Structure 1
Amino acid sequence: MTTRSYSKSPSGAPLYLKAMLPALPIVGRLPGIKHADGAVPDLVLERHGVTTDPDHLDSYNDVCGFALGDTLPATYPHLAAFGLQMALMTDASFPFAPMGLIHLRNSITQHRPIRVDETFDVSVRAAGLRPHPKGRLVDLLTTVTVDGETAWEEVTTYFRRGKGGAPEETLAPMAGVEAPDGVVHWRMAGNLGRRYGAVSGDRNPIHLYPITAKAFGFSSNIAHGMWTKAHCLAALQNRLPNAFTVHVELHKPILLPATTIFGSEETVDGYLFGVKGSRKPQTHLTGRIVTLK
């Protein structure tokens, strides 16, 4: 296993440029740019001594809807990992070019809340390259530790469309789960992707402007899946336990601007929640919170 350490989060703009190079004729086939088509890389990317900027946290809370507190929202450590995730996906040893990937699922386990004043370490690696009926899947595994203790973990699952036909080897966390009906309407402005992108560092063109999204086959720019997940947790913030796992499956993208409907219902071990369209009967996200004992 090779470990690559960073003193700060890798810069987003150079990474997005690197992410686009494999799609270019001739250039995309050059050594160091063309991605390997095999196993996941035996590589771990890590940062040590990560601290939280209170102003940045305030901006994140404002965009996502979280109330202020002395602990980090459960989705916030994802931002500390995002640069490492992009660096891993743009490495030529990663089995897929990142611009063709679809963020399909995300699972976060908060073993205990992380205080705003705590320093933590982050590591990212790839695993779980496997078939899907319409292509292949791969996971990015992120671990956050505080003083050597695992406080937070994330599994981000990406889908690559292509030759498939084989069923998934294990049942997806949200398989067979329907989004509950709701009455809470969310009005999402056309600049939401730019606002969240400025805070998160995720400036994928599909989220920014209609014209940049159309270049990738969307009729308009789309909301970030991680913003949608964060906004769901913000809506349930006062009911969340200290230790829990939250799974989400991302379905139809949310074309901005949009009005969506959030619904939730309590279960024996947590909550089910989801986001649906207000005009069309389509589901954008299904989620489940499971309390850890």
Structure 2
Amino acid sequence: MHAFALHLALMTDTRFPFAPMGLVHLRNTIVQHRPIGVTEPLSVAVHAEGLRPHPKGRLVDLVTVARTRGETVWEETTTLFARGSGRGPEEAAPLEGVEPPPGVARWRLDGGLGRRYAAVSGDRNPIHLHPWTAKAFGFPSNIAHGMWTKARCLAALENRIPAAFRVDVEFRKPVLLPTTVLLGSAEGEAGTTVFGVQGERKPVTHLVGRVTPL
């Protein structure tokens, strides 16, 4: 969340290939090398890389690196999708073939969730704010922020997350607001934890993730 101002500055630069409004968050990877102290000074750098085609548009990665006194302590890669004429193949994702465990925790998400998270995060993409603003970008209703959904999952799994870890998340289907979703999690191989968010009424997978200890 602290890096979003840098993300926004990058995406509004005239050299960035897409307009920031309407971009869709497809994937996110965070690597935490160690816990970060509340009072530790951090320097944060952001850059874009990996502009590439997609069957329905194009993709680009935003890479964020946080350092303290020259030590890299935290890294993030955000993959964004821009709708348009697409010519490229569907690329393999890190979580391809991974399915979410059965849901056990029930979350009721109201229509104002996107506006509240926008006020905290600074991410005021119209696709998250109101049904009428989201419809201008091809969505039937406003959708939850992908990073809100990821953060909610990690908060629920806090007791299973080690001090140093990597977490990969794939946002498969938008969470149309308002709605009710289910969180499921299970232990995987080599100490990993697999988790996912699914629709309560429809068999729709919204998010799949995996925590891997370092």
Is 1:217 matched with 2:135?
A: no
* C-alpha deviation, 1:168, in angstroms: 5.2
Structure having the larger proportion of residues in helix = 1
- Residue number in structure 2 paired with 1:167: 89
SS in 2 for 1:99: coil
Structure having the larger proportion of residues in strand = 2
SS in 2 for 1:164: coil
Is 1:87 matched with 2:9?
A: yes
Alpha-carbon RMSD: 1.5
Instruction: Report the residue type matching 2:98 in the other structure.
Output: V
Structure-1 separation of matches of 2:74 and 2:124: 24
Distance 1:238 1:291, change over 3 A: same
Bigger drift between 124-133 and 105-114 goes to 124-133
Listed as ranges, the gaps of 5+ residues in structure 1 are: 1-78
Shift >4 Å, 4+ stretches = none
Is 1:283 matched with 2:205?
A: yes
- Residue number in structure 1 paired with 2:71: 149
Is 1:228 matched with 2:145?
A: no
Q: Which has the higher contact order (CA 8 A, sep 6+)?
A: 2
CA contact 2:57–2:81 (8 Å) conserved in 1: yes
Is 1:244 matched with 2:169?
A: no
Structure ID, larger Rg: 1
CA contact 1:252–1:284 (8 Å) conserved in 2: yes
Structure-2 separation of matches of 1:199 and 1:101: 19
SS in 1 for 2:127: helix
Structure-1 separation of matches of 2:85 and 2:67: 38
Structure-1 separation of matches of 2:18 and 2:131: 25
* C-alpha deviation, 1:159, in angstroms: 1.3
- Residue number in structure 2 paired with 1:103: 25
Distance 1:217 1:163, change over 3 A: closer
SS in 2 for 1:222: coil
Structure-2 separation of matches of 1:108 and 1:135: 25
Is 1:266 matched with 2:177?
A: no
SS in 2 for 1:80: coil
Structure-2 separation of matches of 1:165 and 1:156: 22
* C-alpha deviation, 1:188, in angstroms: 1.1
* C-alpha deviation, 1:162, in angstroms: 2.9
Structure-1 separation of matches of 2:137 and 2:179: 19
Structure-2 separation of matches of 1:153 and 1:132: 25
Structure-2 separation of matches of 1:245 and 1:91: 30
Structure-1 separation of matches of 2:175 and 2:90: 26
Deviations 1:98-118 (A, max 9, x none): 224211111000111111222
* C-alpha deviation, 1:287, in angstroms: 0.6
TM-score, normalized by length of structure 2?
0.94
SS in 2 for 1:263: strand
SS in 2 for 1:196: helix
Is 1:115 matched with 2:37?
A: yes
CA contact 1:130–1:168 (8 Å) conserved in 2: no
TM-score, normalized by length of structure 1?
0.69
Distance 1:179 1:97, change over 3 A: same
Listed as ranges, the gaps of 5+ residues in structure 2 are: none
SS in 1 for 2:3: helix
Aligned residues: 213
Structure-1 separation of matches of 2:87 and 2:48: 23
